[in-house]
Amino acid sequence: MPAKPVKRIKHIPQRTCVGCRSVLAKRTLIRVVRGPQHVQVDPSGKLAGRGAYLHNARTCWEKGLKGALGHALKTELSPEDLAALRQYMESLPAADEETGKDG
């Protein structure tokens, strides 16, 4: 009698939000990457460089920009980088309820 084929469960990469420290699927978080010239948001998730992840909520970005993001990227965030990241942060929802995550 032939053996039943085993269904493979696809691996889902997990990442930690540097703002709130919760672990979620990689695709649900926003990647910020340290490139050769500057730090930038990586919407594709494929840019070269050291990356860190944040939720799409302002509260996580505020915590991350206070120091956790720079520490995760192993760099000092320049004033230009901070200004660009804050500008991106302003386009995000302010409340956690809109992200669908638990506290």
Q: Quick one: pLDDT at residue 99?
A: 46
pLDDT at 6 over 80: yes
Q: What is the pTM of this model?
A: 0.81
The full set of domain ranges for the chain reads: 14-95
> 50: which strand partners?
34
Identify the CATH number of the domain defined by range 14-95.
3.30.1230.10
> Which residues 6+ apart lie within 8 Å of 71 measured at CB?
18
79-99: pLDDT as tens digits: 999 999 999 999 887 764 444
Identify the three-state secondary structure at position 57. Answer: coil
Instruction: Supply the pLDDT for residue 3.
Output: 79
Q: Please, what's the b/e burial string for 38-47 (b: 16 or more CB within 10 A of its CB; e: otherwise)? A: ebbebeeeee
Q: What percent of the chain has pLDDT over 70?
A: 90
Res 95: pLDDT: 64
Q: Residue 102 pLDDT more than 60?
A: no
Average pLDDT over residues 17-31: 95
Neighbours of 82 (CB within 10 A): 15
